[in-house]
Amino acid sequence: MKLFQNILNLQSRIHSFFVICLLGLSFLAAPASYANKKDDALKTSLLFQFAKYIDWENKIGGSFDICILGGDVDAAEMSKYSGKQISGENVNMRSVQSPDNTESCEIVFISSEQTAGLDVAEIFKARSVLTVGEVDDFIDKGGMINFIRKGTRVKFEIARGPMESAGLRPKVALLKAALRIR
């Protein structure tokens, strides 16, 4: 009888141990998920704000499309901006899976997964589209604005030459907010 009680007690302890481990793992996973949602919120907000601080020389009326190429940006974050207005045009923020699907986009955010092997300057040349990325060499690949993580903060750098070549004129306030301008 005592042996049976010891076995039940051991089973109870093992069960408790596993429950505690699983709860601990779920708490560890929560901050990463929260951080990703927070990053998505910040990036989509910045993309929307960038549009307000750039003049498009060759903008032809209609909607104002902000496209996210690749990555896993939260659809709920994107939908917060759809229907808002920039310069009297309705914003349409959407996800696209290929550079071929960016023809109507005024802003294209290119996720880190999509940037590898992508010749940004070649794909978007002769188009009045703002390209935004998040990898160290994005500006070197022909990108125009690049997100830079500084500790817990997200800053950005601007490549003014490619912007102006595409007929995009950044306003002074955007240039002042940049970490650096190339």
Domains contained in the chain, CATH given: 36-181 (3.40.50)
Rg (CA), the chain: 23
Q: What is the mean pLDDT of residues 86-103?
A: 92
With contact defined as beta carbons under 8 Å apart, do 131 and 166 qualify?
Answer: no
Higher pLDDT, 72 or 67: 67
Going from the C-alpha of 115 to that of each of 30, 109, 133, 137, 156, the distances in angstroms are 28, 10, 8, 9, 17
The reported pLDDT for the residue numbered 75 is 81
Mean pLDDT score across all residues of the chain: 81
* Dihedral over alpha carbons 39, 77, 68, 90 (to 10 degrees): -140
Would the pTM of this model clear 0.85, i.e. be above it? no
Nearest-angstrom CA–CA distance, 139 and 182: 9
Could you tell me the pLDDT band of residue 32, with boundaries at 50, 70 and 90? very low
Higher pLDDT, 2 or 117: 117
One-letter amino acid at 62 equals G
Q: What is the mean pLDDT of residues 149-165?
A: 92
With contact defined as beta carbons under 8 Å apart, do 65 and 180 qualify?
Answer: no
Per-residue tokens: 141? 């690949």
The reported pLDDT for the residue numbered 2 is 59
Nearest-angstrom CA–CA distance, 91 and 88: 9
Burial of 146 (0-12, 13-18, 19+ CB in 10 A): buried
3-state secondary structure of 90: strand
Nearest-angstrom CA–CA distance, 166 and 2: 82
25 pLDDT more than 50 = no
